Chain A
């Protein structure tokens, strides 16, 4: 007797609704075991992770600030993944966007440049991110090179390029030799929503991006094409949707969003260009996209939830000396459970008795 999968006649709506809850439940159970192994009180740890950050205003703002780049990048990635185009180099596009936008900020530093500076930075960052994402997309479409590998390799290149700029030509002369540009001028900074707070205009842009993606996917032919090409490539060909064109389009859009997220992070919470501006946003966003099931609203929820675990993880480290890497383990486990539970939407478990099994070929 063994356990096997059997395809359901149609996808199960009930399971689609409860599967995220099952996944969160299983993750919580696993985390309780992990905290116990680490010798920490699991209930206090869970409280520090998930409840404490929600109880004060500063942490709530911090969650929104952290979720902003995650959600923006993940929305773009979800378009790629829906169209079966595997962009995993968003981290590189994020960094290139940050570099391109910072170029304007650095060049206008100390001049009396007006209010055009910030909008120009945002546009240039989006364009640069899109162009950087087009490299793997064109390599894929024109030459058939695996976009997974090329987009990832370009992350390392972008990282080194940024490193070169802030240690070389763009280094702040008054920066005591630290690898960083000077602090951006006020006209090159993303405005705060609340005076003296942390929340900035970028979070509003992220919400607009979510709304735009929801409309694109739910209400337009282009969005329908993206979903068809991913789900049924053959049918899409007959329907006149061009897969290659969509690979280019989705890569460009996701690169633009990642680049925009990059400059918003640099011109917002960070305030200057330096190495390590991203604690892996581009990679965490891949998780956000899948946790949100490639659905815009789902991604918004998933982005906020993962941001909560980041902030909670920092607080748990301060309050209970729980290592920061626990957060990454937690995120990885959560993604595994979500993917596993989602499998049950399409399949059901069945007990198979080998003695009665009759070979029927491929049916």
Chain B
């Protein structure tokens, strides 16, 4: 029972972790892309299409990544190339993404695929309690952990990461030092799009083996909240993503146990938890914001 819950929590947390990791890098470069939900849902439908057409989960995941990246390029063109308000552009991207996914996905509703294989190492996977947790996951789960470790290493241990953070904190200075702010931000936005696309693809490829319209169900928005929750730090992001996954799964189980609370109230719990956590964290941080200083501001280089 406990083992099943832990496995379910990991599965529910993984798409949040992947999408939030991408958005963390984007925001660290000073760009606020509110289109995560739109990029995710397009990643989900394209990922399913790729796997359905080729029979390969790996190619499906690649389709998701490419789709998310293409969506993010639209955002980059608008918000960075044309200096359009980032909030409005991000919202437009989500609306476009929901429409596109419905259009592409209409032909795939009702189809099924074989979901991603889980790792199986004889003996190790069969260890009670922790065996399946550590050695019996699908590839996405392992990849998500590698991804966040890689991003931490990149941001804090490499020169390129330092430059990216500099762009996010003060684009004027970074520009004056000769760094190509807009190009760096474009790469950061593309990374965010690739992650969101992969996170979306995870849903039909590993979470449920079919595609339904609107299957991201607000996960993109929760990923955005997780970035705020993490104070833009990779370590806290991991904690936040798994905590959130745990709340989601526990409320599902509580519904099953027949707790005398209407199911709708339990389903609302993850969203209410997000609001409460945002308030508590923002309040604790009253000494000053930890957000990248240039987050969401328009930058047009002075030539």
- Judged by a CB distance under 8 angstroms, whether B84 is at the interface is yes
Contacts of B99 in A (CB 8 A): 325-332
Please give me the residue from chain A that is nearest to B283 by CB atom.
Answer: A143
Please give me the residue from chain B that is nearest to A86 by CB atom.
Answer: B87
Shortest distance between the CB of B79 and any CB in chain A (Å): 9
Q: B89 is contacted by which of A7, A86, A339 (Cβ under 8 Å)?
A: A339
Shortest distance between the CB of B148 and any CB in chain A (Å): 21
Shortest distance between the CB of A115 and any CB in chain B (Å): 34
A163 engages B279 (CB within 8 Å) = no
- Judged by a CB distance under 8 angstroms, whether A24 is at the interface is no
Interface centre among B78, B176, B264 (most CB of A within 10 A): B264
- Judged by a CB distance under 8 angstroms, whether A218 is at the interface is no
Interchain CA distance A7-B299 in the complex, whole Å: 11
Interchain CA distance A191-B283 in the complex, whole Å: 47
A160 engages B92 (CB within 8 Å) = no
Q: B100 is contacted by which of A153, A290, A329 (Cβ under 8 Å)?
A: A329
Shortest distance between the CB of B270 and any CB in chain A (Å): 8
Which residues of B from 172 to 218 have beta carbons under 8 Å from A?
A: 172-173, 175-176, 178, 218
A359 engages B178 (CB within 8 Å) = yes
Shortest distance between the CB of A148 and any CB in chain B (Å): 7
Q: B278 is contacted by which of A149, A157, A163, A359 (Cβ under 8 Å)?
A: A149
Which residues of A from 328 to 351 have beta carbons under 8 Å from B?
A: 328-333, 335-336, 339-340, 342-343, 346-347
A160 engages B265 (CB within 8 Å) = yes
Interface centre among B93, B218, B278, B300 (most CB of A within 10 A): B278
Contacts of A327 in B (CB 8 A): 99
Please give me the residue from chain A that is nearest to B98 by CB atom.
Answer: A328
Which residues of B from 265 to 296 have beta carbons under 8 Å from A?
A: 265, 267-268, 271-272, 274-275, 278-279, 281-283, 285-286, 289
**A153-B225, A154-B271, A331-B95 known; A164 and B301 CB under 8 Å?**
no
Interchain CA distance A231-B228 in the complex, whole Å: 25
Shortest distance between the CB of B181 and any CB in chain A (Å): 11
- Judged by a CB distance under 8 angstroms, whether A276 is at the interface is no
Q: How many residues of B contact A (CB 8 A)?
A: 54
- Judged by a CB distance under 8 angstroms, whether B73 is at the interface is no
A163 engages B225 (CB within 8 Å) = no
- Judged by a CB distance under 8 angstroms, whether B149 is at the interface is no
A148 engages B34 (CB within 8 Å) = yes
B264 engages A139 (CB within 8 Å) = no
Please classify the interface of chain A as helix (H, G, I), strand (E, B), loop, or mixed, using the class held by over half of its residues: helix
**A5-B83, A149-B278 known; A325 and B103 CB under 8 Å?**
yes
B275 engages A139 (CB within 8 Å) = yes
Q: A326 is contacted by which of B95, B103, B267, B286 (Cβ under 8 Å)?
A: B103
Contacts of B85 in A (CB 8 A): 339
Please give me the residue from chain B that is nearest to A290 by CB atom.
Answer: B88
Interchain CA distance A328-B106 in the complex, whole Å: 14
Q: B302 is contacted by which of A154, A157, A335, A360 (Cβ under 8 Å)?
A: A360
Contacts of B97 in A (CB 8 A): 332
**A287-B92, A287-B95, A352-B303 known; A329 and B228 CB under 8 Å?**
no
Interchain CA distance A286-B282 in the complex, whole Å: 26
Interchain CA distance A151-B254 in the complex, whole Å: 26
Contacts of B302 in A (CB 8 A): 360, 362-363
Please give me the residue from chain A that is nearest to B90 by CB atom.
Answer: A148
- Judged by a CB distance under 8 angstroms, whether A13 is at the interface is no
B88 engages A347 (CB within 8 Å) = no
Which residues of A from 60 to 108 have beta carbons under 8 Å from B?
A: 86, 88
Contacts of A336 in B (CB 8 A): 74, 78, 89, 92, 96
A146 engages B283 (CB within 8 Å) = no
Interchain CA distance A156-B281 in the complex, whole Å: 21
Which residues of B from 102 to 155 have beta carbons under 8 Å from A?
A: 102-103, 106
Shortest distance between the CB of A324 and any CB in chain B (Å): 8
Shortest distance between the CB of B244 and any CB in chain A (Å): 12
Contacts of A232 in B (CB 8 A): none
Please give me the residue from chain A that is nearest to B228 by CB atom.
Answer: A146
Which residues of A from 90 to 144 have beta carbons under 8 Å from B?
A: 135, 139, 142-144
Interface centre among A148, A333, A359 (most CB of B within 10 A): A148
Which residues of A from 266 to 296 have beta carbons under 8 Å from B?
A: 283, 286-287, 290
**A5-B82, A339-B89 known; A333 and B96 CB under 8 Å?**
yes
B82 engages A323 (CB within 8 Å) = no
Proximity bits, B240-271, A CB within 8 Å = 1, else 0: 00000000000000000000001011011001
Q: A152-B218, A167-B264, A290-B92 are in contact. List 10 more A-B contacts (CB 8 A).
A: A5-B300, A143-B279, A146-B278, A149-B275, A149-B278, A150-B275, A153-B225, A326-B103, A328-B95, A328-B102
B-binding residues in A (CB < 8 A): 4-7, 86, 88, 135, 139, 142-146, 148-150, 152-154, 156-157, 160-161, 163-164, 167-168, 283, 286-287, 290, 323-333, 335-336, 339-340, 342-343, 346-347, 352, 357, 359-363
Instruction: Name 25 A/B residue pairs within 8 A (Cβ), A-sorted.
Output: A4-B303, A7-B300, A139-B282, A143-B286, A144-B285, A144-B289, A145-B282, A149-B274, A149-B278, A150-B274, A150-B278, A156-B271, A161-B264, A287-B92, A287-B95, A327-B99, A329-B100, A332-B96, A335-B96, A336-B78, A336-B96, A343-B83, A360-B303, A362-B172, A363-B302
